[in-house]
């Protein structure tokens, strides 16, 4: 998808942050040139002209599959095979000294990562399935 230049009054910084985070996650999980076609445009517009993240992408985020794929890239060989859930990712990262924190510096739990609506830290928005 080609980047569009929008007038400042039409620019939605929260949406841009969400899209940038999703694009980074997909590029890391699948490889920049191998992102599945159904993930390339993560948004849809409903009948009320409201924009939402597509339900299959929300399910993918909640399942932990993307977190496991990305974490597997940074862990040494054998550890990656044990990644199947958000909890296993958080535990593997903490063993390496990496702690995932919320904006208020409290630890993120596996329940935080697998519950809907999804809280997108730093975007001032909550993402939920419609």
Name the percent of the chain lying above pLDDT 70. Answer: 86
How many angstroms separate the CA atoms of 86 and 92, rounded? 10
**What is the rounded distance in angstroms from the CA atom of residue 66 to the CA atom of residue 42?**
14
Mean pLDDT of 92-120: 82
The whole model's pTM is what? Answer: 0.75
27 — pLDDT class (breaks 50, 70, 90): very high
C-beta neighbour count of 112 within 10 angstroms: 16
């Amino acid at each position: 998808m080609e980047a569009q230049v929008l007038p400042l009054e039409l620019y939605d910084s929260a949406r841009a942050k969400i899209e940038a985070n999703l694009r980074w996650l997909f590029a890391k999980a699948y490889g920049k040139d191998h992102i599945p076609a159904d993930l390339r445009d993560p948004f849809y517009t409903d009948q009320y002209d409201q924009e939402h993240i597509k339900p299959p992408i929300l399910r993918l985020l909640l399942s932990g599959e993307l977190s496991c794929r990305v974490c597997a890239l940074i862990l040494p060989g054998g550890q990656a095979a044990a990644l199947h859930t958000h909890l296993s990712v958080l535990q593997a990262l903490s063993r390496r000294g990496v702690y995932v924190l919320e904006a208020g510096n409290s630890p993120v739990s596996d329940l935080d990562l697998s519950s809907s609506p999804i809280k997108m830290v730093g975007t001032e928005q909550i993402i939920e399935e419609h």
